[in-house]
């Protein structure tokens, strides 16, 4: 979250474009390095061959290794096209551009946020990503990690809201009809769980 807040702060301060991409079936892109076997899926077991198991050649969703293998494949590829991984947060990548303002890329599982000053440089990187992975261009960022994002380029403003998330939490705990009130908190307030 700290890296995401950093990126959003840069986007607002520099009035950058912020787009979102979604990798389709990301975990299936990961290559397995070890031998992994699984029982035959229900409904696919042939009569007389119930003892046979399947050897996986690619990752599957639900496999412990799947997120790691997907990230490794993405990391290898994104660095091969000239991006640099942050030493502080391995989900943040930067790519220098001709005008000196870098492309910032944050990946969270199969979602990506990219920001840049000039969209021409960004389009080139997105084309390279699409050649390697099946992706869906979601356009300007609207939602990430339960937060709604809205950007006003004319006024150089970026807004974050968790209204939808809060509504789901209230509904989950049967508090949808509770009376709301505004509560201001200090900016640097650290909350901790008491035993």
Which residues of the chain have a pLDDT value below 50? none
pLDDT in the model for residue 68: 84
pLDDT digits (tens, 9 = 90+) for 67-96: 888 888 889 999 999 899 999 989 999 888
pLDDT in the model for residue 193: 67
pLDDT in the model for residue 150: 79
pLDDT in the model for residue 195: 52
CA–CA gap between residue 195 and residue 180 (Å, rounded)? 28
pLDDT in the model for residue 92: 92
- For the chain, what is the radius of gyration of the CA atoms? 21
**CATH annotation of 2-33+62-172:** 3.30.70
């Amino acid at each position: 979250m700290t890296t995401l807040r950093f990126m959003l702060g840069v986007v607002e301060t520099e009035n950058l474009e912020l787009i979102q991409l979604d990798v389709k079936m990301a975990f299936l892109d990961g290559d397995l390095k070890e031998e992994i076997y699984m029982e035959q899926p229900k409904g696919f077991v042939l009569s007389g061959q119930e003892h046979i198991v399947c050897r996986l050649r690619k990752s599957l969703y639900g496999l412990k290794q799947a997120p790691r293998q997907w990230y490794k494949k993405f990391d290898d590829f994104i660095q091969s096209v000239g991006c640099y991984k942050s030493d502080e947060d391995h989900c943040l990548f930067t790519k220098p551009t001709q005008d000196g303002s870098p492309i910032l890329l944050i990946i969270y599982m199969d979602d990506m946020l990219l920001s840049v000053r000039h969209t021409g440089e960004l389009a080139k990187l997105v084309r390279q990503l699409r050649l390697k992975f099946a992706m869906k261009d979601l356009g300007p960022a609207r939602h990430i990690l339960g937060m709604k994002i809205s950007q006003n380029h004319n006024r150089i403003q970026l807004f974050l809201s968790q209204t939808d998330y809060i509504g789901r939490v209230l509904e989950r705990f049967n508090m949808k009809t509770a009376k709301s009130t505004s509560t201001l908190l200090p900016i640097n307030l650290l909350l901790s769980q008491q035993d």
